[in-house]
Structure 1
Amino acid sequence: MGLPGAGKGTQAEKIVNEFDLVHISTGDMFRAAISQETELGKMAKSYLDQGKLVPDEVTNGLVKERLGQSDVKSKGFLLDGYPRTLAQGEALDQTVKDLKTQIDQVVNIEVDPEDLVQRLSGRFICRKCGATYHRIYNPPKVEGICDVCGSREFYQRDDDKPEVVRNRLAVNIQDNTPLIAYYQEQGKLAKIDGNKSIDEVFAEIEKILKKFDSFKEL
C-alpha cells in the first residue's frame, strides 16, 4: 500500500524477484481476464469501455479467480493495487478464508503528500518533439531549452498539474485511511518510510518479510 508516487510498483518488483512470489496487480489482472474473455473479464471490459470504474464485486471476483490459480497456490502472492478500500479489504479477507490461505503482511510505504505533489507534478514535455523532463529528477541540461531539439516551448499535461495531483492524493487518502486502520487493528500493518532511497526502502521491507518462516532461508 501507499499513495500514488510512493514507489509501490518499484518495491513490488523487487519483492517478487527476491522472494519468488506471484505478482498480482489489478491492471495486469484486468488485462488478462479481458484477453481470455472470461465472464468477469467481459464484465470489467464493459465498464472500462464506458470510462467507468469497475464495481467492487467485479474486481473482488477477479481477485478470487486469480488467487485460486495453481501458480499462486504453489508460490504465494503479492497484491499490488488491491485492496484500495475498506470494502475491498473485507472482501479479500473472506476470499483468502474461502481459499484456505491468508494475508501475512501489509506493507504501507509512507511519504508526505506534499513531497508526492513535487514528485508527481514535476513532469513537463517539449511541445515540439515530445521529450519528457522532470523539474527535480530529469531537468534539461540548459534550463528552458530542450536537449533533443532546442525548442523553448514546453507544456504540462492536465494530469500532472499540482491541483489535479493534490485532488488525486486526497481521494486516495480518503479511501486508504480506513483500510490502514483495519490492518493495523489486525496487527498486520508495517509502516515503511518511503522518503529513503529505493534500496533503503527495500532493505526495510526485506527485513520485515524475512521474519516469516517461509522466507527465512531465502
Structure 2
Amino acid sequence: MGSAGAVRSEEFVRAHTRVAATPYVPEVLLHQADEAIGLWERTEQAQGGARMPPPFWAFGWAGGQALARHVLDHPEAVAGRTVLDLASGSGLVAVAAALAGAATVTASDIDRFAAAAVSLNAAVNGVRVAPRLGDLLDGDGDGAEVVLAGDVFYERPMAERVLPFLERARDRGALVLVGDPGRAYLPRERFEAVSLHEVPVVADLEDRAVKATTVWRLTGR
C-alpha cells in the first residue's frame, strides 16, 4: 500500500470510529466503531464496490481481548522478544505486546484498513508496531520468537491454513499463543490452556454480551 493509500485508509478509520478504552484491557485505547454491518458496506463503497473482508479492525474481539490481557498480565512471555501478531485486526494484541516490553512487534493483516488501524492505534498508545499488509500463512512467522493470534479459528478454511502456519512457527522454536472464545474450528487437542477470561464484547457481534475465552499455547504433537 503506497503512502497516499495509507493516508486515505487512515482518514477512513478516523472518520468511522471513536477512540475509547478496550473493555477488558482498559490500558489500551482503540479506534472503535459502534456497529459492523453499515461500516462493512462503507468499506466496500470506499473501495469502489470491491469485495472487502468484514471490519474486524474496528472492534475488540473476545479472543484478542483475552490474549492482550494475558500478555499484559504475563509480560515475561514477550519482554525483550520479537513478536508477530497474526491477523491483527485493530492491533490490540500487538499494542499490548509492545506495552509489555517486546523488542519489536509486527502486526499482519490482509485488510488495508486494518493496517491503517494498527498504525493509528499504536500511535494513540505511544508504542511502535510495524503493520505488515499481506497473507503470511504459507510461511512460518519469519523468525518471530513469539507468535500471537487472537480469534483465528472462526471458520474452517481459515483454520485449515492457520494451524499449519502456527505449527511451523512452533517447530522452529516460537512460543505460539492463541486467544479463542470457543470457536468451532479450534483443535483443542493440539493446545494447552494457559489462562481463562470472561470478556465483555459487543453483543451485536456475538451470541452474548460476555464471552468465556481461553488463551491457549500450541504444544507438540
Higher normalized contact order (CA 8 Å, seq sep 6+, divided by chain length): 1
**Higher relative helix content:** 1
Q: Which range, TM-score by smaller chain?
A: 0.3 to 0.5
Question: Of the two, which has the highest radius of gyration?
Answer: 1
TM-score when scaled to structure 2?
Answer: 0.32
TM-score when scaled to structure 1?
Answer: 0.32
